[in-house]
Each structure stands twice: as structure tokens, then as C-alpha cells.
Amino acid sequence: MAAQKGKIVCVTGAGGFVGSWLVKHLLSNNYTVHGTVRNPMDEKNGHLKKLEKASENLKLFKADLLDYESLRAAIVGCDGVFHTASPVPPSSVPDPEVELIKPAVDGTLNVLKACCEVDVKKVVYVSSVAAISVIPNRPDRPLDETFWSDQELCRSNNDWYCLSKTKAESEAWEFSKTNGIEFLSVCPTLISGPMLQNTINASSLILIKLLRGFISLGAEGYEELENRSRLIVDVRDLADALILVYEKPEANGRYICTSHEIRSKELVEILKKYYPNYNYPKKFIEPKGKLSATSQKLRELGWSYRPLEETLVDSVESYIEKGILGKN
């Protein structure tokens, strides 16, 4: 059966944490999906082939962000593109310009250039609150979509991931305006929730370390954790948000995607209620400042989200099921 108009889409980074859930939700909403992965034969992408409707409606393409032709081959024939692929390292990398900034920025521009060439008009880009929150003086009110991270401040803080996302998003906006692409960006905060893929992604690792009593730097045996305020969104709610902005004709501009604001200590208290026996951090150090952001614009478009406890419990259950955590 031929796909309906607007229903053939490309998802870059299909095998990643966000990409996998987005592909799953698109398939269950009767989309035909062209998913890009770096290696379709790699077992790490095996979960995609097992998704419901994947055998009929998912086609995987081998593509690298820095290989224009490979991206173009996946995008041709699509009505829209969801661009999620970008490096998200769990810790610092030796050469951030090459490993982070180039693939994020040039990769995003390659996607947009291919869209121009093959006449795809609508692109939904997964940016980040990292492209919003690195500013010299945070206001007293929650951050909204009018804020942009200061690229010089990112550089001087060695905040290379934030720089990669800020530069990629701002250059993408410029390119899209000049070339008549309908571009929408969604800026999630920390993404949590169950993993479909078997390899641990950077944001899931944050929660896993909390359950194992590690501090964020990854050193084993530390018992103290900064009691920072975390802004969390569930990966499944993010996937819904991406589809919502793609489908709603009135969607425009940037959308912050966040659901819950919580301190690390409270997060541990919730987890302890369900899983009392993991090796949680025992002391909390009070941090300076806090991050606050609002998703009011996305909620006005019709987005809603699940309770935090559901996200946390489903996350832990997925780590147990994959053998990452022992049973509690």
C-alpha cells in the first residue's frame, strides 16, 4: 500500500536513544521511515529491526553526518526529516573541534543541503537546552525559547557539547531561512526513560551512576553527589513532541521540551521508595545556582507528559532487563 502524503520521513541517528523511540512512535503512527545508522549490520542496531511494523515500513540506510551523499540517499523520496544524530559523549573528548563540533555543525548543514536538493520542505531538529542555558547572567524567571547560549562563554568554559549544539542550531536557522526550508527545533533538557537500544547512552548513564553510587565524573566509591537541580523529560514524551511539531501546521520556531524540575537528593528519595537496596550516594553537596526552563510553548501546542515516577521506574526496569543493573 502506498504511504499517505507527508508520511514518509527520514530519521537520522535512528539507532540512538532518542532516534530509536522516535522510529518506534513513527511506525506505530503509520509512517514509513528511512532511518540512518552508521552501520546497518552492527548488532547495536538490531533492536530497530524488531520494532513493530519495522519489516514493512522501516528501511535502514548507512550514513555518516560528514558524508553528504550518504545522507542524501536516505533523504530522497521523503516528505520530512527528523535530525537527531549528533555526538553526545559521556565525558570530555580529546579533540572537541573534530569529534563534536564538526559532525554537529557540518552534519546538520549537510542534512539541510540534501533537503534543499531533493525538495524536502520540513525539518525537525533535535537541539538541546544546551543551546539555551549557557548565558552570563541567568534571569530570575525560567528560561524560554528567546534565550541563546553564548558561544564565547561555551568556549571559555570548555563546554564543547553546548557549543556544538548552539552553533549547529544557529547555523541551521540561518541556512533554513535563506533557503526556504520549514525548520523547527526542539530543545530537550536531560532525557531519561527506558532504553530500546542495548548500548548505554550518555544521559541514561547519569541515572545508572546515581543507582550505583557513582558521582557524575564516574569515579567509583564516591559517596557525595552535588544536589543539583535537574530538568528531566521522558524520551517517549520527547518522541511525541517531535511528531507533534512535525504534524501541527501552526508549529513554528523553537520549543523547549522539559517536564520535571527536581534536585538529585529528591530523585534519590523517589528511587529509594521503589528500589531501596541500590548503592545510592549518601551525602549531598549544595550547589550554586539552579537551572529553570519552561515548556509552556510546547504545552500550548497540545503536548503533555507522564509523571516522573513512571519515567524513573520504567528506566530502572529497562536497565535490569538489559542486565545493566542487578535486581534490587
Residue 84 engages ligand NAP in binding (rule: CB under 6 A) = yes
Q: Give dist(CA 37, CA 45) in Å, integer.
A: 8
Within residues 285-314, the interface with ligand NAP by CB under 6 A covers none
- In the list 10, 26, 51, 88, the residue contacting ligand NAP (rule: CB under 6 A) is 88
Q: How far is the CB of 256 from ligand NAP (least distance, A)?
A: 11
Window 1 to 40, contacts with ligand NAP (CB under 6 A): 13, 15-19, 38
> Does 322 help bind ligand NAP (rule: CB under 6 A)?
no
- 8 A C-beta contact, residue 10 and residue 73: no
DSSP H helical segments within 249-294, as ranges? 264-274
User: Which CB, 239 or 325, lies closer to ligand NAP?
Assistant: 239
Binding mask 34-73 for ligand NAP (x = CB under 6 A): ----x-------------------------xxx-------
Catalytic residue among 24, 113, 122, 165: 165
Q: How far is the CB of 195 from ligand NAP (least distance, A)?
A: 9
Q: Residues 9, 191, 211, 256: which binds ligand NAP (CB under 6 A)? A: 191
Dihedral of CA 82/85/91/96: which sign?
negative
Contacts of 192 (CB under 8 A, 6+ apart): 203, 204, 207, 232, 233, 234, 235, 311, 312, 315
Smallest separation, CB 250 to ligand NAP (Å): 24
CB of 220 to ligand NAP, least distance (A): 23
Give the pairing of strands 58-62 and 80-83.
unpaired
Q: Which helix (H) or strand (E) is 230 found in, with range?
A: strand 229-234
Q: β-pairing, 260-263 with 229-234?
A: antiparallel
> Quick one: which segment of 80-88, 111-119, 141-149, 271-279 binds ligand NAP (CB under 6 A)?
80-88
Query: Interaction with ligand NAP in 113-172: which residues (CB under 6 A)?
Result: 126, 128, 165
Phi/psi at 61 (nearest 5 deg)?
A: -120, 140
- Residue 260 CB, shortest distance to ligand NAP, in Å, is 13
165 part of the active site: yes
Tell whether the torsion through CA atoms of 31, 35, 40 and 45 is positive or negative: negative
Binding residues for ligand NAP (CB under 6 A): 13, 15-19, 38, 64-66, 84-88, 103, 126, 128, 165, 188, 190-191, 201, 203
Q: Which residues are catalytic?
A: 165
